[in-house]
């Protein structure tokens, strides 16, 4: 990319908490991964393959969290995904018999069946159950720039008070990224876009060149940014920070103004799992028979307070074209206006949760495809690129210190330390202090002691995931989230005590290693190394 035109940097952040339960044949929360594979990651790969096939210029950024990478690479979860999708293909075939005589229903059932078939074909036949190498190949081909985030997506501003916690999250993530992709990432996704001064020094210490903030994190920087969010700022540590563009975010994210709420699109919330008798859905439900989403959604959004109409794929496709044109044309006008006021080409950073595209918003992958093709037609006045591309072309960056911020509700840390989940933080702080002491005391240990020390580090990192307090604060899978925090902290406490007593139960340790087998090459010494402590 030798030109220096204005740029749209589309960034998809793909993350799921580590959920793996080999002790159960069927575990409900593992479906989070299976749904994401079928509805998000496979469609994204297919979109990029189509762009490459048609020689459409494209370049995107994709953040893949270390926990997600480990789950995608796990043979147990890979086999369980195939079972998950096979059950849905079989159910769709039965549904087609039921839909005989109803042409509109038949089309929607076929749409679901064909989607699950394509997911299976891509996952099994094209990629031999392993999607991570597919993303690596796309990076090597220039389609993607891959970046990492915190090891378990810990909310770093709240962990910053514990020396070693941020270092462990960052160092472990960088090492995992290197293990999977053979190189260190230039970019680092701050979990929940959570920033506090001092995090930039930790990132710089690991060779990170850029990261992303919520809009106000950049706009409230000191001194104020000269170009608002149309250009990055860099701290004295040398890390460049890009601010999320508010307009492109609102167009896709907003429940009121955003595209996904259009009446033509498929309604995420209307699922057969809540509409059909248990006996008809038995194969798709958890062993308890609890009503849960099963992935078959026949209604379109239609509107609020009215009878839902059946989904119309043709109407949705027409709306995708309209919304892609609206997005690109509106962005072109904004970029053209900004260009007249700036001494460097504007860059618009548009980050989204990857799971929005295909899971929450069924038409999202098609919309992404149409947006990229419109930009690639060379008539938009700007091109696609990544923050690394922008820094290569425009290495001189205004120096400033961003403000403490997040992309959570209220723009701060309140989601992750709120009534109902605020008990977690004090336990994490205490465990991190003990882990730091253990890492120093047992540095250089071997054999059983080293295994126990490594597992203690895994358990603490897993307890630090931002997902658990978030789910508790939202009342979504709250009991599971609380149980996970307590289980990881409990295992950590036992490992700590066993190491101190010199009495490790190897059989119990082996079982814990089997369950929580994340980060196989973890270095527990990172907790004792620490680094500059952020001033959160």
pLDDT tens digits along 346-371: 999 999 999 999 999 999 999 999 99
Q: Which two tokens stand for residue 98?
A: 């039921």
Distance CA 5, CA 22 (A): 51
Q: Among all residues, which ones are annotated catalytic?
A: 192, 353
The pLDDT-based confidence of 529 (bands split at 50, 70, 90) is confident
Beta strands in 236-325 (DSSP E): 240-243
> Which residue, among 245, 271, 249, has the nearest Cα to 259 in the 3D structure?
249
State yes or no: pLDDT of 219 exceeds 60. yes
Determine how many CB atoms are found less than 10 A away from the CB of residue 376. Answer: 17
pLDDT of residue 420: 95
State yes or no: pLDDT of 171 exceeds 60. yes
pTM: 0.96
State yes or no: pLDDT of 288 exceeds 90. no
Pairing assessment for the beta strands 233-234 and 240-243 based on DSSP bridges: antiparallel
Alpha-helical (H) ranges within 101-238 are 103-120, 132-140, 156-159, 165-181, 199-205, 215-219
State yes or no: pLDDT of 532 exceeds 50. no
Question: Which long-range CB contacts under 8 A does 88-96 form with residues at least 24 apart?
Answer: 88/112, 88/116, 88/284, 88/294, 88/295, 88/296, 89/113, 89/116, 89/117, 89/120, 90/283, 91/281, 91/283, 91/284, 91/294, 91/296, 92/116, 92/296, 95/296
Distance CA 220, CA 401 (A): 9
Q: Token match 């920087």: residue?
A: 221
Which residues have CB under 8 Å from 122's CB, separation 6+? 42, 45, 46
Distance CA 198, CA 9 (A): 26
State yes or no: pLDDT of 249 exceeds 50. yes
Answer whether 17's CB lies under 8 Å from 153's CB. yes
State yes or no: pLDDT of 530 exceeds 90. no
Per-residue pLDDT, averaged over 508-528, amounts to 96
The pLDDT-based confidence of 535 (bands split at 50, 70, 90) is very low
CA 405, 411, 415, 417: dihedral to nearest 10 degrees? 40
The pLDDT-based confidence of 458 (bands split at 50, 70, 90) is very high
Q: Which two tokens stand for residue 371?
A: 């947006």
Chain centre to alpha carbon of residue 498: 35
Chain centre to alpha carbon of residue 167: 21
Per-residue pLDDT, averaged over 125-136, amounts to 98
Q: Which CATH architecture has domain 9-70+131-261+343-405?
A: Alpha-Beta Barrel (3.20)
Answer whether 120's CB lies under 8 Å from 89's CB. yes
CA 179, 181, 186, 190: dihedral to nearest 10 degrees? -70
Which residues have CB under 8 Å from 241's CB, separation 6+? 195, 200, 210, 211, 212, 213, 217, 218, 221, 232, 233, 234, 235, 402
State yes or no: pLDDT of 246 exceeds 60. yes
Which residues have CB under 8 Å from 446's CB, separation 6+? none
What does R_g of the chain's alpha carbons equal in angstroms?
Answer: 23
Quick: pLDDT tens for 3-61.
689 999 999 999 999 999 999 999 999 999 999 999 999 999 999 999 999 999 999 99
pLDDT of residue 4: 84
Kindly state which CATH superfamily the domain 416-529 is placed in. Answer: Families 57/38 glycoside transferase, middle domain (1.20.1430.10)
Determine how many CB atoms are found less than 10 A away from the CB of residue 279. Answer: 7
Percent of the chain at pLDDT exceeding 70: 97
Distance CA 250, CA 227 (A): 20
The pLDDT-based confidence of 534 (bands split at 50, 70, 90) is very low
Q: Token match 């295994």: residue?
A: 451
Per-residue pLDDT, averaged over 160-165, amounts to 92
> Which residue, among 342, 366, 484, 346, has the nearest Cα to 421 in the 3D structure?
484
Residues in the chain: 536
């Amino acid at each position: 990319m030798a030109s220096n035109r204005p740029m749209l940097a589309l960034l998809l952040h793909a993350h799921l908490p580590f959920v793996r339960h080999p002790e159960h044949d069927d575990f409900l929360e593992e479906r989070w991964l299976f749904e994401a594979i079928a509805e998000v990651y496979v469609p994204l790969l297919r979109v990029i393959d189509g762009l490459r096939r048609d020689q459409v210029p494209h370049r995107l950024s994709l953040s893949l969290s270390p926990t997600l990478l480990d789950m995608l690479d796990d043979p147990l979860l890979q086999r369980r995904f195939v079972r998950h999708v096979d059950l849905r293909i079989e159910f769709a075939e039965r549904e087609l018999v039921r839909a005989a005589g109803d042409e509109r229903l038949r089309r929607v059932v076929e749409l679901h069946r064909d989607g699950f078939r394509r997911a299976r074909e891509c996952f099994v036949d094209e990629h031999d159950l392993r999607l991570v190498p597919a993303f690596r190949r796309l990076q090597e081909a220039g389609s993607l720039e891959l970046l990492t985030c915190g090891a378990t997506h810990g909310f770093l501003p709240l962990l910053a008070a514990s020396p070693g916690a941020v270092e462990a999250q960052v160092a472990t993530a960088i090492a995992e990224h290197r293990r999977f992709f053979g190189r260190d990432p230039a970019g680092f996704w701050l979990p929940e876009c959570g920033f506090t001064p001092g995090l930039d020094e930790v990132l710089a210490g690991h060779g990170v060149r850029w990261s992303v903030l919520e809009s106000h994190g950049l706009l409230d920087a000191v001194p104020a940014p000269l170009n608002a969010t149309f250009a990055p700022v860099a701290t004295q540590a040398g890390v460049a920070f890009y601010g999320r563009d508010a307009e492109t975010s609102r167009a896709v994210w907003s429940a009121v103004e955003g595209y996904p709420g259009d009446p033509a699109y498929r309604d995420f919330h209307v699922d057969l799992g809540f509409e059909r008798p248990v006996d008809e859905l038995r194969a798709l439900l958890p062993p308890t028979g609890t009503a849960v989403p099963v992935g078959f959604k026949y209604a379109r959004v239609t509107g609020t307070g009215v009878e839902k109409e059946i989904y119309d794929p043709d109407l949705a496709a027409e709306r995708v074209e309209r919304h892609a044109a609206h997005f690109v044309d509106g962005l072109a006008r904004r970029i053209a206006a900004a260009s007249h006021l700036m001494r460097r080409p504007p860059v618009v950073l548009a980050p989204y949760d990857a799971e929005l595209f295909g899971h929450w918003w069924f038409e999202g992958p098609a919309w992404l495809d149409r947006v990229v093709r419109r930009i690639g037609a060379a008539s938009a006045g700007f091109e696609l690129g990544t923050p690394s591309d922008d820094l290569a072309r425009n290495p001189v960056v205004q120096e400033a210190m961003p403000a403490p911020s997040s992309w959570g509700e209220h723009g701060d840390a309140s989601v992750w330390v709120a009534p109902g989940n605020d008990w977690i933080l004090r336990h994490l702080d205490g465990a991190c202090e003990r882990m730091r002491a253990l890492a120093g005391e047992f540095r250089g240990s071997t054999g059983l002691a080293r295994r126990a020390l490594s597992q203690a580090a895994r358990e603490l990192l897993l307890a630090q995931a931002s997902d658990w307090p978030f789910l508790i604060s939202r009342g979504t899978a709250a009991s599971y989230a609380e149980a996970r925090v307590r289980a990881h902290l409990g295992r950590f406490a036992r490992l700590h005590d066993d190491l101190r007593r010199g009495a490790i139960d190897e059989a119990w340790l082996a079982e814990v290693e089997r369950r929580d087998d994340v980060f196989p090459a973890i270095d527990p010494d990172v907790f004792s190394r620490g680094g500059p402590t952020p001033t959160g």
